């Protein structure tokens, strides 16, 4: 691992100044970033890391005027355990509780979970052995190589790596917004496919808060995840739904380079009772536009089933 400086920021302004010029990067829990630094997966690295966990007042869970507000450095373990989130924003508590392991959830923050990089094994290979498109190269090694965990909805910017955040689909289903030090972004518009980042954040832009509107009266949400093992593994597919009290919202992740809003599934279940047959039809509708690779066909059936089961779990 290359040497780098470390600054414990005490204010957002201090962090912003330290990040100016593009030679520094943000660290929160470090559970994603430290692995990347240790393994030298990228061709170049910033000279310093700016710790935002040391900024007072960025770690909180509160409700104000019908909006749940979560500070960016709030730990996933606290979100999973929060009584108010479990009761009213259930999908988010369930999603946070399914990330990795207790140790990672104790260190990892919601901000870091949203901004984490993808896990394509060519991209993550130590010592930058595959200088792929997401590192500024010209080749997608997964396209012709082992792509069994990759996209079933094609490429974005020539990359077929999937976004694997567990909390992302829950926030999209719950119609959340991501607040930064410069703007407020609807969760649905927060992710992108850049070199190498996964978000629309500008260099040096800092997530400060997650805002989730209180679901309408009678609404319920649920999150389900399919992974090889119940603990530690990233999702093969995950799914979050919000139903009742308004138009249904259904989002999936690990199926495409960006979190995927399943609009056709929402249309298929809208206005209908949620029962076995209707939930199954919604699952099939969610996958109408899927274009899996030969090695990812199995994910289509998993996604259909997760949509169905998440809908049934929410009633």
Residue ranges binding ligand FAD (CB under 6 A): 25-33, 35, 52, 72, 76, 99-100, 104, 107-109, 111-113, 115-116, 164-166, 201, 206-207, 232, 234
CB of 139 vs ligand SF4, minimal distance in Å = 7
Q: How far is CA 239 from the centre of its chain?
A: 11
Candidate residues 19, 120, 243, 274; the one interacting with ligand SF4 per rule CB under 6 A: 120
Residue of minimal Cβ distance to ligand FAD: 112
Tell me whether residue 102 or residue 126 sits nearer to ligand SF4 (CB atom): 126
CA-angle at 244, arms to 241 and 248, nearest 5°: 45
Closest distance to ligand FAD from the beta carbon of 204 (Å): 9
Q: Identify the residue among 79, 91, 132, 171 touching ligand SF4 (CB under 6 A).
A: 132
CB of 269 to ligand FAD, least distance (A): 26
| Residue choice 141, 149, 190, 260 for contact with ligand SF4 (CB under 6 A) | 141
223 binds, among ligand FAD, ligand SF4, none (CB under 5 to 8 A by kind): none
Which lies closer to ligand FAD via its Cβ, residue 107 or residue 242? Answer: 107
Q: How far apart are CA 201 and CA 214, in angstroms?
A: 26
Q: What are phi and psi of 231, to 5 degrees?
A: -115, 155
Query: Residue 140: which of ligand FAD, ligand SF4, none does it interact with, CB under 5 to 8 A by kind?
Result: ligand SF4
Which of the choices ligand SF4, ligand FAD, none does residue 246 contact, using the CB cut-off of 5 to 8 A by kind? none
| Contact string 145-164 vs ligand SF4 (x = CB under 6 A) | --------------xxx---
Rounded Cα distance, 214 and 150, in Å: 34
Minimum gap (Å) between residue 192 Cβ and ligand SF4: 13
254 binds ligand SF4 (CB under 6 A): no
Least separation in angstroms between CB 43 and ligand SF4: 13
Residues that contact ligand SF4, how many (by CB under 6 A): 12
Helix axes 276-286, 297-313, angle to 10 degrees: 140
The residues binding ligand SF4 (CB under 6 A) are 120, 122-123, 132-134, 140-142, 159-161
């Amino acid at each position: 691992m290359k040497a780098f400086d470390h600054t414990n920021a005490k204010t957002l302004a201090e962090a912003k100044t330290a990040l100016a010029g593009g030679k520094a990067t943000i660290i929160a829990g470090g559970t994603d970033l430290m692995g990347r630094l240790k393994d030298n997966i990228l061709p170049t690295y910033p000279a310093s890391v700016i710790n935002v966990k040391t900024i007072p007042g960025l770690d909180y869970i509160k409700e104000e005027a019908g909006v749940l507000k979560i500070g960016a450095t709030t730990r996933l373990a606290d979100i999973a355990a929060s009584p108010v989130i479990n009761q009213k924003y259930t999908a988010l508590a369930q999603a946070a509780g399914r990330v990795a392991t207790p140790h990672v959830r104790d260190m990892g923050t919601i901000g870091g979970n949203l901004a984490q990089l993808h896990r394509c094994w060519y991209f993550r290979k130590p010592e930058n052995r595959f200088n792929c498109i997401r590192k500024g190269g010209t080749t997608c090694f997964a396209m012709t190589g082992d792509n069994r965990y990759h996209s079933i909805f094609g490429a974005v910017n020539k990359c077929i790596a999937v976004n694997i955040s567990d909390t992302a689909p829950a926030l999209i289903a719950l119609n959340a917004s991501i607040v930064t030090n410069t703007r407020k972004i609807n969760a649905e518009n927060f992710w992108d496919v850049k070199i190498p980042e996964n978000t629309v954040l500008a260099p040096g832009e800092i997530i400060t808060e997650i805002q989730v509107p209180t679901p309408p009266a009678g609404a319920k949400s649920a999150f389900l995840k399919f992974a090889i093992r119940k603990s530690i593994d990233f999702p093969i597919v995950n799914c979050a739904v919000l139903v009742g009290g308004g138009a249904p919202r259904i989002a999936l992740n690990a199926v495409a380079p960006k979190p995927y809003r399943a609009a056709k599934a929402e249309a298929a279940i809208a206005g209908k009772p949620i029962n076995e047959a209707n939930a199954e039809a919604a699952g099939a509708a969610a996958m109408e536009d899927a274009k899996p690779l030969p090695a990812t066909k199995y994910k289509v059936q998993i996604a259909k089933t997760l949509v169905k089961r998440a809908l049934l779990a929410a009633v």
